[in-house]
Amino acid sequence: MQWMLWTLPTALFFGSIALLLLGMLIWEILQPCVERRGWIIPMRTTRGDRLFIGLLSSAYIAAFWLVFVPLSMWWMAAITIAILVILQAVG
């Protein structure tokens, strides 16, 4: 049986996702969410929905970036973080 290697980037990635989920849980407990209809995503969504859509968008952007863009991955990270923030703010 082969085990997964937990490198620092892998641990940071999964740790940041866990912190995001924990933060969303605390936010939901302190201030319950009300569904709202966004102008970017024209459907009623909650904070968790927008976080999931943002994370999924980030994964697609990262995959696209790896295949088609010859620039540094730091640019991709900045773009995906910006998309997460925008979707959470206006979504």
Query: Looking at per-residue confidence, does 27 or 58 come out higher?
Result: 27
pLDDT band at 1 (very low <50, low <70, confident <90, very high): low
> According to the model, what pLDDT value does residue 29 have?
93
Q: How far apart are CA 43 and CA 41, in angstroms?
A: 6
Inter-residue contact 12 to 19 (CB < 8 Å): no
DSSP alpha helix (H) spans, 1-91? 8-30, 47-68, 73-90
> According to the model, what pLDDT value does residue 91 have?
55
* Torsion angle (degrees, nearest 10) of CA 73, 77, 80, 84: 170
pLDDT digits (tens, 9 = 90+) for 36-85: 887 766 888 888 888 888 788 878 887 888 888 887 878 888 887 887 78
Average pLDDT over residues 14-40: 88
pTM over 0.85: no
> According to the model, what pLDDT value does residue 59 have?
83
The SS3 assignment for 7 reads coil
